[in-house]
Amino acid sequence: GENVEQHPSTLSVQEGDSAVIKCTYSDSASNYFPWYKQELGKGPQLIIDIRSNVGEKKDQRIAVTLNKTAKHFSLHITETQPEDSAVYFCAASISNNNDMRFGAGTRLTVKP
Amino acid sequence: SQTIHQWPATLVQPVGSPLSLECTVEGTSNPNLYWYRQAAGRGLQLLFYSVGIGQISSEVPQNLSASRPQDRQFILSSKKLLLSDSGFYLCAWSTLSAVALHFGNGTRLTVT
């Protein structure tokens, strides 16, 4: 089955800097790659997603890139703010949610 | 708009006691429903999913069971809790046509 690895496990940046979180997946049939943000005591919230027919997607300060050949995808957050501090999860799915696999998460801390 | 409710938010139960966690979804019909468990510092593990009333699929063998008595209601149960059942339990939903998962705010279960 699918295996998703996520790095780094913790990331600390200064406010205003950029943050990059990387994930790799094992199953070349995976075609949907969401990113979730989880704040303390809450459930994960979908922040951006990308499908395998697209190489990059942007939404304001957040962008995701996908390299299908290398089977890795990344989350980029620019101009980080303290409220970006949270745990971020990547995931990969083949055709439906029943087999969506999650990375272990990255704890991002943005220092003011 | 669609909303998902999970309760209780926190729960402390003794070993050997029963468990019942409830999840309901509003604003959509015939959703796919999921139960995930999140261990501290780890990713999300899929426990059960359901594509319709009375239809439950289990991803991992365990001390837990799930039921879907109504279209938008998903229940996680145990007859006798183990210490290892402690964790953060998340309910999620998706539509049949869209891949994105939407999570509730979770239940933190501590088995003592």
B residues 53-92 closer than 8 Å to A (CB): 57, 90, 92
CA-CA distance, B107 to A106, in Å (whole number)?
A: 21
pLDDT, average across residues A42-54? 91
Q: What is the pLDDT confidence band of residue A97, given thresholds at 50, 70 and 90?
A: low
Q: What is the pLDDT confidence band of residue B96, given thresholds at 50, 70 and 90?
A: confident
Q: What is the pLDDT of residue B1?
A: 80
Ramachandran bin of A106, using left for φ above 0, alpha for ψ from -120 to 50, beta for the remaining angles? beta
Report the chain B residue with the minimal C-alpha distance to residue A98: B49
DSSP structure class, residue A1: -
Q: What is the pLDDT of residue B93?
A: 94
Q: What is the pLDDT of residue A53?
A: 83
- The pLDDT of residue A35 is above 60: yes
Pick the closest to residue A33 from A88, A109, A110, A111 (CA basis). Answer: A88
Contact A46 B94 (CB under 8 A): no
pLDDT, average across residues B63-74? 95
Q: What is the pLDDT confidence band of residue B40, given thresholds at 50, 70 and 90?
A: confident
- The pLDDT of residue A100 is above 90: no
Q: What is the pLDDT of residue B95?
A: 84
Q: Give chain A's mean pLDDT.
A: 93
Q: What is the pLDDT of residue A88?
A: 97
B6 contacts in chain A (CB < 8 Å)? 43
B34 contacts in chain A (CB < 8 Å)? 97
Closest CB to A42 among B57, B92, B105: B105
Q: What is the pLDDT of residue A1?
A: 74
pLDDT per residue over A13-31, tens digit each? 999 999 999 999 999 989 9
